[in-house]
Structure 1
């Protein structure tokens, strides 16, 4: 009988890798709280219609990658493949727009897409994302990019560059769409199958193709920047001005369209040269029509998402794994000592010390070796003799010094050292 194993495209996250995850999660909360962003948690599955309408029928996500199923009530549900659509639905359903002003929201959690698993890309993956709803101001775009940059830099990442583009308004893309159709039609036999299908449905998606021959053809395709209206040009120019003022390096990439249909105007990716072919660590842009398309008010918005698996790969390349810090490791042997050891562990924990209690019942030398491996500051040693004297032995592991302290004075003594 074969043993049960993790499902293809999913993975367990254990120590020491888990410490990288905890590090980036803690850093994200700090950065986002400082910028007055509020956390939002949406369901892990939603009505399929939310994603088909919000993301777009012509995208690979909706067409090929979603985990969709019917529940017992014969309702079509989908495990969320991305976070923005769910946040938009929540914004509408919970009346957040009625609060007025700008809503700065962030989320972090698991997403699901049926893709070929590879380094940094799993079928169950995790994203950190922000959504700024209620502002058409270019400062919202620049702030979102700046927050992402702050977060990545706080983690110690330096080999980063922002790819920047504008995909214009819906009106801008009408003429651009026809220009793309005119350009790609003579190459129709050379395009990959997906791109041939997109030629009539959504030719902008051809620019996002990963097929090598199609990418070659795209090199000479018309640029969206030549089809922007005056308003879109002014908005894009202001975003660039703001990024320059913030000293955030960027490069214009007119082929950058992102993989989702809801984007308007600003589109961007933050790239890392350390990730090889899968170089994008953060992606996002403006989506001024999504809220209205989902049945809400006409609310402009901008946001981004960061793939955490890829980010952990980068962290592993630049730093050793953070460790859980243990202040004191409690070693005990003997029935009375073992009973008292748990009470002492709880006392130390409530006093704010990170305390690990050895519950193996091993000999003292083995327990002390584990205390050393845990890199604790000191081992708290409790035997029957210590219990009889109402005290413990403290062995400071860095120096080897050892002292006897009354149990009643233990917390005060440790706080002073």
Structure 2
């Protein structure tokens, strides 16, 4: 017997049943994907799918060479044929905008797009943080006004309510201003950090000159007082940035979306400007951020397109589903409607014909395979979670009938002509709380 090969650390199999150290199942995942597809359609966003592998330069240019994502966390390798540097995508916005620019999707006007898929970062695996993780992202491209910012935030709030987790998520909001305003603040922040360099940790000293805004996001408790007293970006915002930020807050108030202003919220990627936001929870331990995003007006131009107003967000599917499983109300349709069992010569063909008829009218059917006794099959029917059992035994074959049983006991057991079975099962499902 060969030695077992295990999955790569931090990359999880998604199984029909929960694992010891990974509780999410394929059934709950599928239910979430169905909910996301319907949710995006309600807001008139269209799906885009991009490759998992991109040229490394895409992420260096968009995310920022000095960010932790590019500098420490990406899976990067050389293509053996042409020595091109390739990377597994660590996030979805850059790939989405690369595709938009490459295929000139903005030629005929703005685009509202969404995507869902795996991302990769070489981080220390822990609950809610994995090396292969999944994101749902929304990108509103070609929109300069803050009503687009308000819409994408409202989309999040709508989804949280749909999933039954709205009360466990809080919105944090900030404004980063434009490039010139951020540059002025950055210069003042670097001077301030240099004055306090003696108390900075190694990570903050490294970031002080390369990405000083990220120092404000440090979780080191020793640095909190120093960070709280640092120059605040909002004090460097011009009249237009201040006005847009005020309008956004007014729109959120009109939508009854509560928020907390967090002047230290900067996000971890270089491409953000003006609006930034995060949805956080206190129910997942250290992994507080479930969803984050903001405006990135310069990214399309950075990737070779024309200057374009853009705003979007991405949510971590694993973290979100952990929250939904514990506190939410996402219904998984894993169990079949009907468990069809049979026994006796000629029963297989009859059972398969009936299964096809039931599936054609929208019923989910688990057809038993094998030669077990009806008693053993009934035990499996009970264990399957099916609502109804359909039985074709020797007596049913002789009389051209079928026996239907409600496994909850509410509707009892009935034997009838086979031609009546499809209609009755449809009626049972529709009128007895199954839909």
> What secondary structure is seen at the aligned counterpart in 2 of 1:310?
helix
Q: Deviation of residue 323 (structure 1)?
A: 4.5
Q: CA deviation at 1:313?
A: 1.0
Closer, same or farther in 2 for the Cα pair 1:211/1:71, shift >3 Å?
Answer: farther
Equivalent in the alignment of 2:381: 371
1:193-222 Cα offsets, whole Å, 9 max, x none, are 232222222211222334443445322111
Stretch of structure 1 that moved more, 212-221 or 44-53: 212-221
Provide the residue aligned with 1:136 in structure 2. 144
User: How far off is 1:316 after superposition?
Assistant: 1.8
Number of residue-to-residue matches in the alignment: 416
- Residue 139 (structure 1) shift: 0.4
Residue 227 of structure 1, CA deviation? 0.6
Distance 1:226 1:410, change over 3 A: same
Structure 2 distance, partners of 1:80, 1:383, is 55
Listed one character per residue, the Cα deviations across residues 216-256 of structure 1 (whole Å, up to 9, x for unaligned) are: 53221111000111111111111111101111000110000
Distance 1:398 1:82 in 2: 46
SS of 2:106's partner is helix
| Pick aligned residue for 2:204 from 190, 195, 198 | 195
1:403 and 2:414 are equivalent in the alignment: yes
Deviates more, 1:68-77 or 1:222-231: 68-77
Gaps of 5+ in 2: 18-24, 429-435
8 Å CA contact 2:119–2:133 kept in 1: the answer is yes
Tell which deviates more after alignment, 66-75 or 44-53. 66-75
Look up the match of 2:49.
41
Deviation (angstroms), 1:345: 1.3
3-state SS in 1 of match to 2:408: coil
The corresponding residue for 2:38 is: 30
Shift of 1:319: 4.7
Which one is further off, 158-167 or 398-407? Answer: 398-407
- Residue aligning to 1:57: 65
The answer for the alignment partner of 1:282 in structure 2 is: 291
Contact between 1:106 and 1:128, CA under 8 Å: does it hold in 2?
yes
Q: SS of the residue aligned with 2:346?
A: helix
Mapped contact 2:300–2:308 kept (Cα < 8 A): yes
Equivalent residue number for residue 7 of structure 2: 6
Match of 2:183 in 1: 174
Deviation of 1:18 after TM superposition, in Å, equals 2.6
Runs (5+) with no aligned partner, structure 1: none
Task: Give yes or no for the alignment of 1:145 onto 2:145.
Answer: no
Q: Which stretch of the first structure deviates more once superposed, 400-409 or 178-187?
A: 400-409
Q: Distance in 1 between matches of 2:328 and 2:46?
A: 29
1:341-380 mapped onto 2 (5 Å cutoff): 341-380=351-390
Asked if residue 205 in structure 1 is aligned to residue 214 in structure 2, the reply is yes
Q: Deviation of residue 276 (structure 1)? A: 2.4
- Root-mean-square deviation over aligned CA pairs: 1.7
State the distance in 2 between where 1:413 and 1:363 align: 26
Query: 1:388 aligns to what?
Result: 398
Residue 74 of structure 2 corresponds to which residue in structure 1? Answer: 66
Structure 1 length-normalised TM: 0.95
The answer to whether the 8 A contact 1:328-1:353 is kept is yes
1:230 corresponds to 2:231: no
- Other-structure match for 2:250: 241
- Partner residue in 2 for 1:103: 111
**1:335 and 1:53, CA in 2 relative to 1: closer, same or farther beyond 3 A?**
farther
